[in-house]
Structure 1
Amino acid sequence: MKKILIILGMILLSPIYVKAQKSPVYELYKTKYPNAHAVRLLEERKIDISLKDDEILITQDILEEDLYLDQAATYGSKRSINYSSFFDIESLEASSLLYENGKYNELEVKDFVEKDEMDRSFYDDSKSINFIYPGLQPGAKSKLKYRERIKNPRFLNSFYFADFKPIVKSKVTISVDKDISLKFKEFNTSGVDINFTEKEKRGKNIYTWEANNIDEYNLDSGAPNFRNTFPHIIPIITEYKTEGKNVKLLENVTDLYNWYYSLVKNINTEEADEELKKIVTILTQNKKTDLEKVKAIYYWVQENIKYIAFEYALGGFIPREANDVFNKKYGDCKDNSSILYKMLDIAGLTGNLTWIGTRSIPYKYNDVPTPAVDNHMILTYMDGEDMYFLDATGRYIPIDMPSSFIQGKEALISISEKDFLIKEVPIVDSQRNTIIDSTFIKIEDNVIKGLGNFKLSGYPKIDFFNALEAQKNEKDVKDMYIREFRKGNNKFLVDDFKEINKYHYDKDFIVEYTFNIKDYVNSLEDETFVNLNLRRNLSEFKSKADRKNDKEYRYKSNEKLITVLEIPEDKVVEYIPSNFNISNDLFSCSITYTQQKNRIIYEFNIDQKFILLTLEQQKELNKLIKKVEKNFKEVIILKNKNN
């Protein structure tokens, strides 16, 4: 009987049986934000930073209240709170508030399930507390309250005043002991109405930021990471006073580097594995220069040490021993840098451990000297004045190119216990990242038949190799080539292909192929019309008129398409389109036609000289593309000889 009553109670509380009443607050925000799925009524964080027994203690009390405006409430019912060895959850309360009979009734969450967050093969120390808000439906609210303890003062969280949903009230209060020095960095707050106050109370400095009625933020496809757009602050504990002395924490980059170095200074002190020594000897024995030795070792690590992102506690910051990485044949970015460092050392060469942020992180080291500034480790090799940024987490990356996602980023390079350098990783020029597709075609019975030579270098080649590795069999590879080489129309087919320099790190990748295109040539009476613009897709460079954000690309590139048409013996050229050229500082495009005896040579070239476009630049580029697309419609006209 008791079980029946419990089940009946659960049914009555389910969204199906609750009368669909709507509160005034729902009506208000449904009208104000008709396209929003939910509204955050309150996001409040109270941070207490205290000094006790020469130790900094940090707790965060977090309160979130959400209102659900449509059926997406079902998806919002599942929640989880993450924590790890750096963050403890000390208390947690959650509840749903369902509107009935003119008021909200609260239903507490009773079941909280802890889970280890792991992937298929590897474990890290991240955990989560999972729960479900009961009975959420349009008009319902949820309430979440928890306390988090931050174990390391260097990991003080950022606070965001905006989200992908509207926020009615967003507030953060930081109470800090007077013996602890705090500074704040603001990002993207210009034009946002944030009220800041500062006061002193009971031996503490209290800082408060409050923002009200912040509309939802939407990021267009290809927009830079939300950190570039969302208004937020980063609080930084710079130093604290204990026993009459000032103890530096994160006042500047030197403080951050000193901590980083303390985590890596004792790695790889044991003797290298004998098998690892043999491999280094074999790799370097016939190399004439130090750079050739570095290249051989670097490529070996890319090919033989599998990259797996996993961590445990400070394992997220401390590289594992090179011997362990060698024996397991896998590691994360720090581990790959560790074995690369050790292998260079075995060869009598010096590599420099290097911290760096990917392009998803917009901060510079001098602005944000905290662990929030970076998320990646590589190795830097210095050859005279030349620097090589070696990222062994990837594959097929040549020694003189950084991985694409660290281009333009600052690198913190370890020189010694006290010395370091900050250098900006160069952005690779478009001429290094080339796609050249040369085709030689002729017309047979109104069918285009051709020979192609497809050549890749730089990042496009790396992308192509990674895509090729994912293909399971020869048919998949051929289908991939049909997609990649497609030209003319959807009846394009690759007949045969031959791969040259496949998976080679330094040489261009070449595919020689034969193809045919049916129903592409048009004829009318004694004239034949052929459009030599066989590939006319510039969609990746076009932006929608209503776009709101900058647009980011992974790398600069240069693409060249060459088509050589053999003029049929029974025809003469009646019309060849004019050449076309357009250019600015960011983008250039040209189309040329040249007749040489019985051939017409068409060449189309695009030079993409940017990796980031502002809204104004996108509009300007759209204008250029329209002019290019107009020229795509041009055709050559061949006429029968005897008419």
Structure 2
Amino acid sequence: MPEYPILFMSNIFWRSFLLLFITTGANYAQKHVEPSSQDLQLAEDIHARFEDDEVALVSSTDYITFDLSRDGKQVTATQTTTSQWINLTSRADIQLYDFYDGESDISEFNIFSENQKRAKYHIIDEAYHDQDLFHNDARVKHAHLDFPVKAYRYETRITKNYQDIKYFTGLYLVEEYPILKKEVTFVIPSWLQLDLKAINFEGYEITKTEKQGENANQIVTFTATNVPSRMDESHTPGPSYLYPNILILPKSFENEGQKTVLFNDTSDLYSWYRSLASELENDNSAFRNTVAQLTAGTTSEEEKIRNIYYWIQDNIRYIAFEDGIAGFKPDEASNVYKKRYGDCKGMANLTKQMLTEAGFDARLTWLGTDHIAYDYSTPNLSVDNHMICTVMLGDEMIFLDGTEKFNSLGEYNSRIQGQQMLIEDGENFILTRVPVTAPEFNSENAEYDLSIQDEEIVGSVHKSFSGQQRSDLLYYFHSLQNDRKDDFLNFYLSNGSNNIEVSNIQTSDLTNRDSILEIAYDIRIKNAVSSFGNTIYLDLDIDKELGNMDFKDRKVDYQFDSRKDLLATYKITIPDGLEVSAIPEAYKTSTEAYDLNVSFDKQYQKLIYKKHFRIKNARIKASDFENWNKHIQQLNNIYNEQITFSKN
């Protein structure tokens, strides 16, 4: 169930192909036309405005038309993109590419140059492979563009055809490169009812015009100027939260007096999803005995659900699968059971059918993860990208996501918390949202009991993890080969530092999802104590959480993996004959998004150093970076200041 547009697929493609085809680009003619003085000045002016970019689009025009398929049963769409490129520096190389799949094709992929009298370009058409997808039907056309000198120019023209308008869900007004002028024109025929929904236009120079064309066509044009390139930064929200985009909402069309409804409202979207699910045979005989074994001897309905849910987590491997209609239609439950793998839709259907076999009212449930900004008020295939199962148990709804391997029953990963769900209910549907848990549900608590011994810090540590802090750690641990698990725990607990030795590691049951994960171990920290005369200096904090999260150069909102609660307490025994002579100053701040609290205290012969960080909103907005950076600087001041002991 892909999110649009495929242009925003992983940049891995771009980075690897740049090196691969650097030597297979255009075969240049012997004669070149040097850039004009006007183009040289234009390149200077653009680079002054977008100084971090090497290539820009002087203009990019999308011209979009609609027609009927040959049989008149579907609406087709054609998108022609014409772009004018210019190099802003002495030399640059880029990859020009576009994707298509079983529901679309590329009929034109042309490259022209104002600076070459004659040229041939090596255009490659091949299957696209994504490391995050087990199988998909995406293909890519691409070519290498070499800009040998400053102000070098290209014109490119790509025409893409959609066989069914519902798969043409929308487009973005940003590219990998800055654009001086972006124009998107829709020519909407009178027989097609279609809405265009503008998203994230605020803060951009974008205008919209409408006029009447020939044959009563409606012509809608969006024009954006001075559009910066999209940011390539990690831990960002999905692009639908950040960049200006236009959702294409086909409502209905008429042909020969017959009206065909497409996605006029949410019920139409649900009806289409339900029609795909109704094509399933759902023969449960393959796993009937397994369900009987899982439910035998149970003492409650909840225990039956738990046993089935955990069995799926433990025995069915999640893979991502996008191939035409299979990107939206669940696989047969029996197929997933026999193969022991499936995508989210297949796993949701297996969960439903195993629970149905056990006598429960289980239902398929569609939703979008937090990567998607839209909800079901917008009937469009880009509104969701995930499927789970809902069990109706009395007045309670229990949501089961088999792709989350170490979630306990009733526990939901942050990526779906708060997201709207579309739950099947016969010919009707139910809209509700995944429950949201408090930050302290995802907690990590570390307690250090330490002392100074021969200019080293030694002692014991106890750590506990709950919620997503627990499930993420368990998932990674169990993804490792058995002979690497002990090495991982040592590396994880020592922060990968040669100055930290851990030993005598004891853990709670690492297969138990329902309990708090606990780890206890002994620790020895070298090069953290230094003495000069009658004074001892101590570098106590070995974790320094959040200390490297300065967003001085960041442009885009930062997305934590979850809301969370981090607590660490260091208890250091004060050596005999010494007293605390200097400690960092305590610090405390609270905002709507986070709380940061660092304190120091003395109890008997122990110095207590405590940190409590609560991330209340998983997203730190770019508009808050200035305040955030000030608080992180205060934390780093504490981390960098030594604790001092002096003789009495």
- TM-score class, shorter-chain normalisation, is 0.7 to 0.9
Q: Which runs of 5+ in 2 are unaligned?
A: 1-22
User: Aligned residue for 2:62?
Assistant: 45
RMSD: 3.2
- Do 1:15 and 1:136's aligned partners in 2 also have CA atoms closer than 8 Å? no
| Same amino acid, percent of matched pairs | 23
User: Aligned residue for 1:6?
Assistant: none
1:376 aligns with 2:375: no
User: Aligned residue for 2:302?
Assistant: 291
- Do 1:14 and 1:135's aligned partners in 2 also have CA atoms closer than 8 Å? no
Partner SS for 2:321: coil
1:218 aligns with 2:242: no
User: Aligned residue for 1:622?
Assistant: 629
Shift in Å at residue 537 of structure 1? 3.7
- Write the distance in 1 (CA, Å) between the matches of 2:39 and 2:524: 61
- Do 2:539 and 2:643's aligned partners in 1 also have CA atoms closer than 8 Å? yes
User: Aligned residue for 1:421?
Assistant: 430
Matches within 5 A, 1:342-361: 342-361=353-372
2:211 to 198, 203, 210: 198
- Do 1:65 and 1:141's aligned partners in 2 also have CA atoms closer than 8 Å? no
1:236 aligns with 2:257: no
Letter in 1 for 2:224: A
1:56 aligns with 2:56: no
Partner SS for 2:544: coil
- Do 2:77 and 2:168's aligned partners in 1 also have CA atoms closer than 8 Å? no
User: Aligned residue for 1:589?
Assistant: 596
1:481 aligns with 2:493: no
Shift in Å at residue 573 of structure 1? 5.5
Q: Which of 522-531 and 555-564 deviates more?
A: 522-531
- Do 1:63 and 1:143's aligned partners in 2 also have CA atoms closer than 8 Å? no
Partner SS for 1:341: helix
Task: Evaluate the alpha carbon distance shift between residue 271 and residue 427 of structure 1 in structure 2; reply closer, same or farther with a 3 A threshold.
Answer: closer
User: Aligned residue for 2:572?
Assistant: 565
User: Aligned residue for 2:159?
Assistant: 147
Letter in 2 for 1:234: L
- Write the distance in 1 (CA, Å) between the matches of 2:192 and 2:90: 44
User: Aligned residue for 2:508?
Assistant: 500
Partner SS for 2:415: helix
- Write the distance in 1 (CA, Å) between the matches of 2:591 and 2:518: 31
User: Aligned residue for 1:5?
Assistant: none
- Do 2:26 and 2:119's aligned partners in 1 also have CA atoms closer than 8 Å? no
- Write the distance in 1 (CA, Å) between the matches of 2:128 and 2:175: 27
Task: Evaluate the alpha carbon distance shift between residue 331 and residue 447 of structure 1 in structure 2; reply closer, same or farther with a 3 A threshold.
Answer: same
User: Aligned residue for 1:523?
Assistant: 531
User: Aligned residue for 1:173?
Assistant: 185
- Do 1:117 and 1:125's aligned partners in 2 also have CA atoms closer than 8 Å? no
Letter in 2 for 1:514: D
1:238-284 alpha-carbon deviations (Å, 9 max, x no partner): 112345454321111111111111111232432431xx122212222
- Do 2:82 and 2:158's aligned partners in 1 also have CA atoms closer than 8 Å? no
What TM-score results when the alignment is normalised by the length of structure 2? 0.86
- Do 1:249 and 1:255's aligned partners in 2 also have CA atoms closer than 8 Å? yes
1:92 to 89, 97, 108: 108
Task: Evaluate the alpha carbon distance shift between residue 635 and residue 126 of structure 1 in structure 2; reply closer, same or farther with a 3 A threshold.
Answer: closer
What TM-score results when the alignment is normalised by the length of structure 1? 0.87
1:250 to 263, 267, 274: 263
Task: Evaluate the alpha carbon distance shift between residue 392 and residue 72 of structure 1 in structure 2; reply closer, same or farther with a 3 A threshold.
Answer: farther
User: Aligned residue for 2:323?
Assistant: 312
Shift in Å at residue 372 of structure 1? 1.2
1:454-486 alpha-carbon deviations (Å, 9 max, x no partner): 221111222222332454565674365345444
Shift in Å at residue 433 of structure 1? 0.9
User: Aligned residue for 2:137?
Assistant: 125
- Write the distance in 2 (CA, Å) between the matches of 1:114 and 1:597: 71
Partner SS for 2:138: strand
1:399 aligns with 2:409: yes
1:159-183 alpha-carbon deviations (Å, 9 max, x no partner): 3222231223322222233122111
- Do 1:68 and 1:137's aligned partners in 2 also have CA atoms closer than 8 Å? no
Partner SS for 1:539: coil
Q: Which of 307-316 and 125-134 deviates more?
A: 125-134
Q: Which of 153-162 and 429-438 deviates more?
A: 153-162
User: Aligned residue for 1:105?
Assistant: 117
Task: Evaluate the alpha carbon distance shift between residue 45 and residue 498 of structure 1 in structure 2; reply closer, same or farther with a 3 A threshold.
Answer: same
Q: Which of 286-295 and 121-130 deviates more?
A: 121-130
Shift in Å at residue 520 of structure 1? 1.6
User: Aligned residue for 2:19?
Assistant: none
Shift in Å at residue 19 of structure 1? 5.9
Task: Evaluate the alpha carbon distance shift between residue 14 and residue 439 of structure 1 in structure 2; reply closer, same or farther with a 3 A threshold.
Answer: same
1:205-241 alpha-carbon deviations (Å, 9 max, x no partner): 2322233443434355433222222222122111123
- Do 2:28 and 2:118's aligned partners in 1 also have CA atoms closer than 8 Å? no
Report how many aligned residue pairs link the two structures: 620
User: Aligned residue for 2:201?
Assistant: 189
User: Aligned residue for 1:3?
Assistant: none
Task: Evaluate the alpha carbon distance shift between residue 455 and residue 207 of structure 1 in structure 2; reply closer, same or farther with a 3 A threshold.
Answer: same
- Write the distance in 2 (CA, Å) between the matches of 1:414 and 1:305: 23
- Do 2:40 and 2:150's aligned partners in 1 also have CA atoms closer than 8 Å? no
